[in-house]
Structure 1
């Protein structure tokens, strides 16, 4: 028996890339899969259920069970239809993998309102809509799990991605709150930050030699390396794992820390702007973190 035998899993953005590999592995591990994909471009334009249909046909050809859902997750009714289709076709829903996403990269001072709103609408609001629809079912049945995709662009930083970074850090907060709120109902929620070559990473601008080298490294990181962790987190064997942030980089898996106080300073008479400058700043400054991009932290070649 596979790790997901008898389970029903919904994967958003499952027509291509990481989502496709998760859907295929989930089916291989015994799950019935709702393959959601709007089929839009990396910027969120257009619609084509063809890629999702291809994934479903592959699953069925190997004896598995899967259906296509072509909804836009940023539409609340579309998001709800993913869960409704799972219930209609398979009678239940056990796991949601929030993977769909768009990129609207712009350096911040050139970022338009639509660049900002489109990214938040899909990369954060869409995750909320799908999660909320599933949460109502999970609560009643007393079990369920969420696997949300975040990004090191938010966890660490990157150029030209203020909108994407904000959304992906929002996903971390969403996941943690779900984990806290729904723990009593047997529901878990975790995040994965992936390194993998996909349509989205292919759109990353590379102009300097260092940026070109980074893109070349990304090309060696295939999407299938991400799927095993997602499938594990969607299984019953992960029931003691919740509120965590993982990262997958080829054959490496990382666990990220979360913000916690690192220094404190008390002044009985309270603080003034001058005392902050004269006393607190010198005490705190050694603990300040440097500005960094994801590539600065993950600077070595993966094996």
Structure 2
């Protein structure tokens, strides 16, 4: 069994009387894609702040590569919820920003990133400003800026949450395809169940605040993945179990099975089913 690259053990965090993390434990294996899935406000982003040194845990241990994680460190490349592109910098200079911060001269950084613009579907937009680009193009640029830093691990904090449904699906497919080729070690924060199932090798489902791991799911889908895989019995079973785990908190601890709630009659489809399904899939948002 491969030793984890990142191992978080019994980590807790509070802000005064407000406890945010409650004995959180998870592992991320090298070259794996792991998601942390849970309700909004559960403390998922706080976990990333702890990993990057922007905040400190009050207890627990974090090891990286088998040794205690120290601060500051250069292990992580972070992609935030918003693209955070600087409007006064051309796209190529936004992408090179992380390299420049590391001390690379801008001219050298440009030479390094220029070949990637075609890979990321942005060929011809190098000299454009961010405001001239679509949401999906901006997020591809933000992802490129993250990966060119060549850190040990990607931290992705709901990077597609602000996109419309069609663009979000397109970006999920793009990220899965790039991950399949590059095999980055990645940790994704999301409250989108389907996104987690589509992208991940393993999913940690968190409770509402204070966050602790309710269940861990290994995703049995082959790679590379397609949208058709999400209609398979295996994908639907994992999605169903995740939703059951989350929804038990909405029903005073009494399980209300997803399969029963959304079972449709053979003779037709109840007009309320679609809205109800969408509501429950977004139960953590």
TM-score exceeds 0.5: no
Q: TM-score, normalised by structure 1?
A: 0.33
Higher percent of residues as strand: 2
Structure showing greater relative contact order (alpha-carbon pairs closer than 8 Å, 6 or more residues apart):
2
Q: TM-score, normalised by structure 2?
A: 0.35
Higher percent of residues as helix: 1
